[in-house]
Amino acid sequence: VQLQASGGGLVQPGGSLRLSCAASGRTFSLINMAWFHQAPGTEREFVAAVRRGDTNTYYADSVKGRFTITRDMAKNQVHLQMNMLKPEDTAVYYCARKENRPISSAIRQAGTWTDWGQGTQVTVSS
């Protein structure tokens, strides 16, 4: 599975961006999906996730109330709406997929997710 993340860019603090993730090649269901981010010199960190059959969405504490993960099943895409962006949100953002529904306790671990996109850079700076 090849995942393509897009929508990154340079934005001022307080601004918004909407990231998108789509699968290329064969059409794989983007039903168990997550977003992670990674700043230089740091480990990849969990941002948000959504699972098959689960009405809940999952967020890192640092983004709760500011970011929203959604799925567009008709277009087989996943989005991350990022509002009230802060300089500390600056990172490369990756979308990730897992074929089988991950258990809730493992959602925040990068190793849980099996397919990864190439990342899109988000820079929040004035």
Contacts of 8 (CB under 8 A, 6+ apart): 17, 19, 92, 93, 120, 121, 122, 123
Can you give the C-alpha Rg of the chain in angstroms? 13
Contacts of 65 (CB under 8 A, 6+ apart): none
Task: Please state the rounded mean pLDDT for residues 94-119.
Answer: 94
Residues 37-79 pLDDT 10s:
999 999 999 999 999 888 889 999 999 999 999 988 888 889 9
Q: Say yes or no to pLDDT of 30 above 80.
A: no
Q: What is the pLDDT of residue 28?
A: 65
- Residue 20 binned pLDDT confidence (cut-offs 50, 70, 90): very high
